[in-house]
Amino acid sequence: MNDSSTYQAVRIGDIAEWKLICVISESGMSAYLKHSNPTQDVISLFDESWDVNEETLLERIENVVYDHPQVLDDFSADIAVVAPKSIWVPTELVHDREEDIPELYNNVYSAADEDVMADEDVEATCLFSLVPGLRSFLQRTFPGARIHSHLAVMTSRFRDRSSDMPRVYIDIRHNWADFVAFDRRNLLMAASHPWKEPSDIEYSLFNILNVYGLDPEVVQVSLSGPRDVKNPLMHDLRKYVTYVMLTMMPGIGVKAGMPLIGALLMRN
């Protein structure tokens, strides 16, 4: 932990005027404060990255939180968990049937009942888990916080972006790329795929287009992520896909250096 003599909380005034946004993944954690006035700059509380294994991941998350005690203040909070091991099920299967969630999740992945989380949408619900003990830690440490799947955040926020064309959104992260595809407002898929080379991202995209019968001449592909990866990838994809562009993000989120998921959570 940080020495208490070196830690300095950010002066913000009335806590009720701010919302806490946290993004947690296997490779790091970041936290931001968004003011109720949409023109006011987002405050970055911390942005930590690491390279740890599953055995020490929860401890690292806990230490970062306790090293920055301002996040424990009584904020309205949205926390996104970036969990590649996620599945989607029809919401009607789990609505008001929380006891069925672990069994459904464990048909594909393996996690203790208490570690499986759910982010419910109207049509489909995302079931996800990142590391043992995380759900209990978040519920205990951030009571009342809204806990989201990163894929569900992308799905809910991008669904409303109007377009008559099929759309695929790709958010590129460290070792992973998140894909969300729509046909108008209908969700086709949302999943995370690993990558080492940009060609791996291209392969995943064209596999998605093939599986869902999406024509490269009429589909719209939007990219976000590190500039040194997304810009060359956009240039290369334009050889095969007619409409390739960068994903539009809120300006104040870009200015604060927020990851895509954090920026999307700024919308109430």
The confidence score (pLDDT) of residue 2 equals 45
Residue 254: pLDDT band by 50, 70, 90 thresholds?
A: confident
Up-side HSE of residue 220: CA atoms within 13 Å toward CB? Answer: 15
Separation of alpha carbons 244 and 234, rounded Å: 6
Q: What is the mean pLDDT of residues 213-236?
A: 96
Residues 6+ apart with CB under 8 A from 126: 86, 87, 88, 118, 119, 149, 151, 152, 155, 190
Residue 162: pLDDT band by 50, 70, 90 thresholds?
A: low
Mean of per-residue pLDDT scores for the chain:
93
Taking CA atoms, 111 is separated from 27, 153, 180, 193, in Å, by: 20, 22, 24, 20
Q: What is the mean pLDDT of residues 247-258?
A: 86
Q: How many other C-beta atoms can be found within 10 angstroms of the C-beta atom of residue 256?
A: 21
Q: Name the phi and psi angles at 147, rounded to 5.
A: -105, 125
Give the amino acid at 123: E
Q: 221, 205 in Cβ contact below 8 A?
A: yes
Q: Tell me, rounded to whole angstroms, the distance of Cα 112 from its chain centroid.
A: 22
pLDDT tens for residues 173-212?
A: 999 999 999 998 899 999 999 999 999 999 999 999 999 9
Residue 6 has pLDDT above 80, yes or no: no
The two structure tokens encoding residue 209: 């287009």
The confidence score (pLDDT) of residue 268 equals 61
Q: What is the mean pLDDT of residues 223-234?
A: 96
